[in-house]
Structure 1
């Protein structure tokens, strides 16, 4: 069974490299601090894994027609497109702001949305990432956990989900490090912030639309 967990862990790593997942992580993590970025990536991974677990358990008992389960892919794609449209709207409506100030002689840059600058929005961001991860977990990978569970003569259990989440998290956290570098090196002016968010929005719309048309 240990080999089975290793296979699922490796599948999680490969699965996380999907453009839809990396796009979602980018959308949530741009402009965030190290703490927020790490919490967001882990929340997304666990939300994704929990949905897989729930649907895998359901599909062990009930056989759903393919045309029904295909809606999971539609939901996942729609989430990506919606996130992209939201980012583009925020850029167009000039609702993304940058605030520079000093704490103990050291300059800090904060990026926030809307009219008010909220310092501690970590809980909101993490909850949103968990929710999006859960929604995207409906698409494309429902058969993976069920198949691996059957190969080893075992039902799908929560330890399998943890192995999958661990694999996904390796990639998500590593990619989060790339986003942290972008945050630090490029998001130093409002012009750059608008450009980066607009680019992320366009990529999200393109990736999501491609998934819908596939």
Structure 2
């Protein structure tokens, strides 16, 4: 198999594994509950989270590759703490301000805003912010591909493969969650939203605590 194709497939598989991490699934599920049980909106939210995540990861990794810059364990630890804080913030927002993110602000007749635009915007930003914690792990996977220097084509094909894996993985999580939640009535959906948000907050706090203690 050609090294370029092998690197792409390796990146794809690693991206899929990265996408279904517990913190990512929790974030996608939390955001997915804010779409009023609408399948299409929940799936779009998951993809927007994945796009923000992949773009941030790929962008920082590309800059580090071109500049020949590495990232320390200390950076990774604080980045993971930051990612946990973002997850907690999403959970708190979902618990306290679900209608604000779900419906947005009122507009004049004839100029109505897409009801779920705020959720999509928040999901893109959250995906990008939570990506920071994974940059060092991504960079550590690249050195074996850097044969011939930092501009090795194999390394550059790994990155789009990794991004595609993230899109497929998170999109699948969003699709499965959307299929499940759209089968529930409004009352049960509201309870699911609370349970998912509390679970996400707990995971975020655990993530923060474990990194602080581990440091």
Q: Does 1:67 align with 2:74?
A: yes
Partner of 2:14: 11
Any unmatched runs of 5+ in structure 2? 211-215
Aligned partner of 2:183 in structure 1 is: 185
Q: Kindly indicate which of the two structures has a greater share of residues assigned to strand.
A: 1
Distance 1:144 1:114 in 2: 36
Normalized per residue, the structure richer in helix is 2
Alignment partners' CA distance in 1, 2:143 and 2:196: 39
- 2:103 touches 2:115 (CA, 8 Å); kept in 1? no
Matching residue within 124, 127, 133 for 2:121:
127
Does the 8 Å CA contact 1:49/1:161 hold for their aligned counterparts? no
Counterpart of 2:26 (choices 23, 27, 32) is 23
RMSD: 2.7
User: Shift of residue 20 of structure 1?
Assistant: 0.5
- Residue 83 (structure 1) aligns with: 90
1:185-204 to structure 2, matched below 5 A, reads: 185-186=183-184, 188-189=185-186, 191-204=187-200
Change (3 A) 1:146 1:96: closer
Q: Do the aligned partners of 2:47 and 2:170 also contact (CA within 8 Å) in 1?
A: yes
Runs of 4+ in 1 over 4 A off after TM superposition: 111-119
Following superposition, the deviation at residue 194 of structure 1 comes to: 2.6
TM-score, length basis structure 2 = 0.77
Q: Distance in 2 between matches of 1:174 and 1:51?
A: 20
